[in-house]
Structure 1
Amino acid sequence: MWRPSLPVSLRAALGAAPLSSAGTPRALEGKVALVTAGTDGIGVGVAEALGVAGARVFISSRRAQNVQRAVEQLRGRGLQVSGVPCHVGRAEERERMVQAALDTFGAIDILVSNAAVNPHFGPALEADESTWDKVFQVNVTAAAMLVRLVVPHMEKRGGGAIILMSSIAGYQPMTGLAPYSVSKAALLALVAALSPELLPRGIRVNGVAPGLIRTRFSAALWQDEAVRERALKELGVERLGTPQEVAQAVLFLASPQAAYVAGQTLLVAGGARPRL
């Protein structure tokens, strides 16, 4: 029976790797992953999970001492990790980071765009224009520009995987987090917009939307008991999640196990049912 053949790049995006490699502990052997904001919380959890799966991992954070600490921590676990300080909201620093990853490991197969800011906690109308600009510059524009930077290098390798870190707040805006919530909703659309453009080029684009995760970044939502209980009730869940639980979702989307998954955002939120 005649069967239509797929372009090489599309076959790569849909899983050219042998199926037998998908479930092995070293499913990412030979791959290089770039993880932004990879020194704490979800980011360092993702870096560790990818490294344990065999990837060489390049991480970044705004502060050099945080990068050094995380690199030493992860190398101490036997992982191949390096990194540089980078403010992803600045074009020249993004370019230097990508080049440093290439200079260190020679390739980029996986991008996890995890960096985000939330400088405002309060009523939406109290957020001024500079706050909205900062949130969108770091949370949305930087993610899109990083994708633009890494795509040519992924194509040279025959394909790749991109994971954009959204949030349940992108589906269900949370009290006091209007700019952040709107920016995370934009990332849901960015995943959907990029996927049909990049899938024929061998690159799968997906997202992960964590719920309320116990990290320093989200401390304003869980350190105070009353605020925590209100947030859990608002989301309809029993407990906070962990960075490691989010990292496993990212690992799945980066691995051959997700060869037939593209243009999706995976909600990792303890059973929360967002309204949008």
Structure 2
Amino acid sequence: MGSLDLTGRVALVTGATSGIGAATAALLAQRGAHVLVAGRDSSRGESVVAAIRGRGGKADFVAADLREAQSVRQLARRAVDLGSGRVDILVNNAGIYPFGPTEKAAEGEVDTVYALNVKAPFHLVAELAPAMAERGSGAIVNVSTVVAAYGAAGMALYGSSKAAVELLTKAWAAEYGPRGVRVNAVRSGPTRTEGTAGMDEELAALAAQAPAGRPAEPEEIAEAIAYLASDAASFVHGAVLPADGGRTAV
């Protein structure tokens, strides 16, 4: 049986300065990984790192603006340096989730959503997966959303970007899986985070449609991510794991 233990692994988590990313970074570190906390806000990033180190874990902050391809590739190279030559686990969590009518979306907003939600994971995988494949092992976990699975008014832009990520997950599993790199995704439901703090009514309405009947806590999504990143999921390739309170099951 595979283990949840991640001792000796190097994990890069994007969007790790708050919310699901911060919870994931904390959990991976708790299970033994050296976690590279990536984000734009250095003060929040250092706070996440300090909390991990305070619990005896190993972590470093890496500043990156994932909206620019060059910055994304620089992040990958910096992560490899901090990881003593490798990254074993990549968690593509960073993303933005604007809601609203299609006709109200500015062209710049469309470009930004796709740059961060689709292009950044693409470039990180392009930079890091080949070396994982050369070593014959690695795990990539992409964070998706429940609205990638069904049509929802006001969520065309966000949902479509994550639907692209889910297809990339399967394509990358086919591409890198034969060489030992597992690529999977977690399809998260409405989650209480700093980013959704002002959306209590919207979260409650979305959560009411699912059997669980409540929004998730970031730690609950992190558990699903950590499972897919671990050897416990050794025979799981190209899966999209719903952590959505059952929303896509009903």
Q: Number of aligned pairs?
A: 249
2:143 paired residue number: 165
- When Rg is computed on C-alpha atoms for both structures, the one with the higher figure is 1
Contact 1:167 1:184 in 2 (8 A): yes
User: How many Å separate the matches in 1 of 2:78 and 2:147?
Assistant: 33
1:99 paired residue number: 77
1:221 deviates by 3.4
Change (3 A) 1:47 1:166: same
Asked if residue 254 in structure 1 is aligned to residue 229 in structure 2, the reply is: yes
User: How many Å separate the matches in 2 of 1:110 and 1:211?
Assistant: 23
Residues 109-128 of structure 1: matches in 2 within 5 Å? 109-118=88-97, 120-128=98-106
Contact 2:99 2:158 in 1 (8 A): no
Contact 1:235 1:272 in 2 (8 A): yes
User: How many Å separate the matches in 1 of 2:206 and 2:198?
Assistant: 10
Look up the SS of the partner of 2:175 in the other structure: helix
User: How many Å separate the matches in 2 of 1:155 and 1:205?
Assistant: 12
What is the TM-score when the length of structure 1 is the normalising length?
0.85
Aligned-pair identity (%): 35
Change (3 A) 1:184 1:274: farther
Contact 1:236 1:273 in 2 (8 A): no
Cα RMSD after superposing both structures: 1.7
2:205 paired residue number: 230
Question: Structure 2 counterpart of 1:46, which letter?
Answer: T
User: How many Å separate the matches in 2 of 1:221 and 1:172?
Assistant: 21
Question: Structure 1 counterpart of 2:193, which letter?
Answer: T
Residues 47-62 of structure 1: matches in 2 within 5 Å? 47-62=25-40
Question: Structure 2 counterpart of 1:139, which letter?
Answer: N
Change (3 A) 1:32 1:228: closer
Look up the SS of the partner of 2:247 in the other structure: coil
Look up the SS of the partner of 2:72 in the other structure: helix
1:274 deviates by 5.8
1:65 paired residue number: 43
Look up the SS of the partner of 2:182 in the other structure: strand
Determine which of 80, 100, 108 is the counterpart of 2:87: 108
Unpaired runs of 5+ residues, structure 1, are 1-18
Unpaired runs of 5+ residues, structure 2, are none
1:134 paired residue number: 112
Asked if residue 272 in structure 1 is aligned to residue 247 in structure 2, the reply is: yes
Contact 2:208 2:214 in 1 (8 A): no
Question: Structure 2 counterpart of 1:154, which letter?
Answer: M
1:109 deviates by 0.5
Contact 1:171 1:274 in 2 (8 A): no
What is the TM-score when the length of structure 2 is the normalising length?
0.93
